[in-house]
A and B are shown apart, each in its own frame.
Chain A
Amino acid sequence: MDRIRIENVTKYYGENLVLDAVNLSVREHEVVCLIGASGSGKSTLLRCVNKLVPFDHGTIYLDGVSIAADHFKNNNELHKRVGIVFQAYNLFPHINVLDNVTLAPRKVHGVTRAEAERRAHELLNMFGLEGYARSYPERLSGGQQQRVAIVRALATQPDVLMLDEVTAALDPELIGGVLKIIKDLKDKGMTMIIVTHEMGFARDVADRVCFLEGGRILEEAPPDKLFAKPENPRTQQFLQRIIEAGRL
């Protein structure tokens, strides 16, 4: 069963074609990694899936229902089921970590404060953030902030989690920890779409890897195949550059 099905999604920013008839399906419990050069449209694709930006053509289905359908008119339902973590964390700087995490469960999904905080503490502990519940985001390191952002996205218990370069800002010694957490999430059956520049990470965690360029998915294959024997010459070039940069 496809959790998410993206059909022919095309998006322009003004005259600029950013997504060009993208097709992608993500089955339940599957982890799909999107790789590609900067500006290839990876973030934009994620933003289309949870309606942060509108797209011009095509359809995106969540569990078989178009996200443009009346069922998702009230965005709560969509955003409860699809969570996203941003490259730049985007935590709310004026409220503490606990309030960041409990805001959506309490205000959007009607969970009581006690229950929301209980779950938040559970998640914070799981991510090595015990003791930071009352801290303000600006007092935390970048790595800690990103973990809070992941916890915040998980707090609404989404079915699908989208991660946009979540390891890009992490200290090297923290990347392993987050990688393990994401693997744990995968083992628990979390469906994920992960944008990343860390090829080792993609190879470790992905069931499938998609290479994007110019708003199109040029190649889609299991990681073993895509990293070892890429078919498309553009993928080969991209991976070659990555290898030269010492990142694979």
Chain B
Amino acid sequence: MSSERSAPALPARQTLTFRERYVPFLISFVSVAIVFGGLWRVITSAEHWPRIKLQFFNLEAIVAAFPNVLRGFGINMTVWAIALVAISIWALVLAVFRSLHGPWLAPIRLFSIIYIDLLRGLPSLLLVLLFGFGVPALQIPGLPRSSLFWGGVAMVLGYSAYAAEVYRSGMEAVHDGQRAAAKALGLSQWQTLRHAIVPQAVRNVLPALLNLAVALQKDVALLSVIGVRDAVREAQIYTARTFNYSSLIAAALLFLAATIPMARFTDYVARKDQERRLQRTV
């Protein structure tokens, strides 16, 4: 072709032979098959395998437990979605509080610092127990009594402390020149945050926030300890009744179905973010 002749500097595109193209693929396939097949053999030929299979991977039990576990999982996902929205907002408020400067704003700043230190230092389980059992026990009129509600509140309060620190790191990563430019244009402290710093910070930390979202997806199961009938609780109820643990495997499968795509999505967003940064520095 004439175009190829006019550009001799470009090496001719290599065409791979059948062997070059498929042999590596075949080798991977065979080696994977050998390793995993071997493992499978070892496991299934173990003396206790039939009992393990019956206890954990009993298809009948999984199918029987599935409807209840799935309904419970609906609660997990609902709590997760609502908590996620609440955390994104509350954590941003905390991070902004913490970044404010000026002597009059010291109390707000201090509140945010103490809040983050306290709630980041406590185990989620402890918070869930404290709020999920403790607050309803107070029987204060006008406050909701539902342990589901208060358990959710505990998750939001705890995770917000982490997310606030993530936001804060994102705000600190925004270049100083951006603040200078905003100030030089006459933007107030609040307008600078609103129009210049926070939008850039959110973009900076989106992958980190999504990672937190994945962790939260699993941690919502902690609500099962205060009697919320989520997927784990439903699975436990089935187990207690039948002495078969396959229902927990059903719950596990549901969690994986939710967290693995979410984690992949997070990777994708992180990669996009990386590309964007590289593009900017070139």
Interface of A toward B, CB cutoff 8 Å? 47, 50, 52, 75-76, 78-80, 83-84, 86, 88, 90-95, 103-104, 107-109, 138, 152-153, 156
Query: Is the CB of B184 closer than 8 A to any CB of chain A?
Result: yes
Q: Which residue of A lies closest to B200 (CB)?
A: A94
With known contacts A94-B200, A108-B191, A52–B180 Cβ distance under 8 A? yes
Q: Which residue of B lies closest to A50 (CB)?
A: B184
Q: Which of B184, B188, B196, B280 contacts A92 (CB 8 A)?
A: B196
Q: Which residue of A lies closest to B182 (CB)?
A: A92
Q: Are A108 and B186 in contact (CB under 8 A)?
A: yes
Q: Which of A90, A94, A108 contacts B181 (CB 8 A)?
A: A90
Query: Is the CB of B187 closer than 8 A to any CB of chain A?
Result: yes
Tally of A-B Cβ pairs under 8 angstroms: 62
Q: Which residues of A contact B53 (CB under 8 A)?
A: none
Q: Are B279 and A108 in contact (CB under 8 A)?
A: no
With known contacts A79-B185, A94-B199, A94-B203, A138–B279 Cβ distance under 8 A? yes
Query: Is the CB of B146 closer than 8 A to any CB of chain A?
Result: no
Query: Is the CB of B103 closer than 8 A to any CB of chain A?
Result: no
B: number of interface residues (CB 8 Å): 20
Interface of B toward A, CB cutoff 8 Å? 175, 177-178, 180-188, 191, 195-196, 199-200, 203, 279-280
Chain A min CB distance to B281 (Å): 10
Q: Which residues of A contact B188 (CB under 8 A)?
A: 75, 108
Q: Are B280 and A156 in contact (CB under 8 A)?
A: no
Chain B min CB distance to A79 (Å): 3
Q: Are A90 and B203 in contact (CB under 8 A)?
A: no
A103 to B195, CA, bound (A): 8
A156 to B185, CA, bound (A): 8
Q: Are A91 and B181 in contact (CB under 8 A)?
A: yes
Chain B min CB distance to A213 (Å): 25
Chain B min CB distance to A32 (Å): 19
Chain B min CB distance to A151 (Å): 12
Q: Which residue of B lies closest to A109 (CB)?
A: B186
Q: Which residues of A contact B280 (CB under 8 A)?
A: 93, 138
Q: Which of B191, B195, B199 has the most CB of A within 10 A?
A: B195
Q: Which residues of B contact A92 (CB under 8 A)?
A: 178, 181-182, 195-196, 200
Chain A min CB distance to B135 (Å): 40
A95 to B181, CA, bound (A): 14
Q: Which of A88, A103, A138 contacts B185 (CB 8 A)?
A: A103
Q: Which residue of B lies closest to A99 (CB)?
A: B195
A78 to B187, CA, bound (A): 11
Q: Which residue of B lies closest to A51 (CB)?
A: B183
With known contacts A94-B203, A107-B191, A108-B191, A86–B183 Cβ distance under 8 A? no
Q: Which residues of B contact A107 (CB under 8 A)?
A: 187, 191, 195
Q: Which of A76, A90, A104, A107 has the most CB of B within 10 A?
A: A90
Q: Which residues of B contact A93 (CB under 8 A)?
A: 200, 280
Q: Which residues of B contact A88 (CB under 8 A)?
A: 177
Q: Are B186 and A79 in contact (CB under 8 A)?
A: yes
Q: Are B186 and A156 in contact (CB under 8 A)?
A: yes
Chain B min CB distance to A222 (Å): 29
Q: Which residues of B contact A104 (CB under 8 A)?
A: 185-187
Q: Which residue of A lies closest to B201 (CB)?
A: A94
With known contacts A92-B196, A94-B203, A108-B191, A76–B180 Cβ distance under 8 A? no
Q: Are A108 and B180 in contact (CB under 8 A)?
A: no
Q: Which of A50, A90, A153, A156 contacts B177 (CB 8 A)?
A: A90
Q: Which of B184, B196, B279 contacts A83 (CB 8 A)?
A: B184
Q: Are B185 and A86 in contact (CB under 8 A)?
A: no
A153 to B185, CA, bound (A): 7
Q: Which of A50, A80, A93, A138 has the most CB of B within 10 A?
A: A93
